[in-house]
Amino acid sequence: MGIAVEVFLTLGLISLLENILVIGAIVKNKNLHSPMYFFVCSLAVADMLVSMSNTWETITIYLINNKHLVIADAFVRHIDNVFDSMICISVVASMCSLLAIAVDRYVTIFYALRYHHIMTVKRSGVIIACIWTFCTGCGI
C-alpha cells in the first residue's frame, strides 16, 4: 500500500508554495540578484516542476483508477510518458543546479579575490541555460 493520495497532494502543494516563495523573494529583493541566488532560483524552479509533475500525475492516476476519467490506453501511455519526461527533466535540473551551487561556493572560497570576475551574472545565466538545455535533452 502506497502513500495516501491526500498526503501526497498536500506535500506537493506545500512544496509548490515554498518554492514560489523562494523564487518570489529572489525576484523581489535586489540584494539577491547575484549568481549564487540565480542558481538557487534555478533549483527552486526545478523542485517546483518536480512537485507539480508528481501532483498532476497523482491526480490523473486517481481519476483514472476511480473511473472519473475514462480515456484510451494509448492516450494514458502518452500522458505517462509526458509526466515521466517532466519528472526526469526536473530531477536532473535539480541535481545540476545543486552542482552549480557547489561549484559557485568552491570558486567563492578558493578564488575569493577573483570571484566577481570569474562568476558574472552573464556567465551564471549561460550556465543555467546550459543546465536546462542539457536536462531537456535528457528528458526527451
State pLDDT tens for residues 11-45. Answer: 888 999 999 999 999 999 999 999 999 999 999 99
Give me the helix-helix angle, 73-110 and 121-139, nearest 10°. Answer: 150
Distance, in Å, from the CA atom of 38 to the CA atom of 55, rounded to the nearest integer, reads 25
- Residue spans of the domains in the chain: they are 5-139
Per-residue b or e along 61-85, where b marks 16 or more CB atoms closer than 10 Å to that residue's CB = beeeeeeeeeeeeeeeeebeeebee
Task: Compute the C-alpha angle 81/85/54, nearest 5°.
Answer: 90
- Mention the CATH class of domain 5-139: mainly alpha
pTM: 0.86
Q: What is the pLDDT of residues 66-101, one digit of tens each?
A: 888 788 888 888 888 888 899 899 999 999 999 999
Residue position matching grid coordinates 523542485: 47
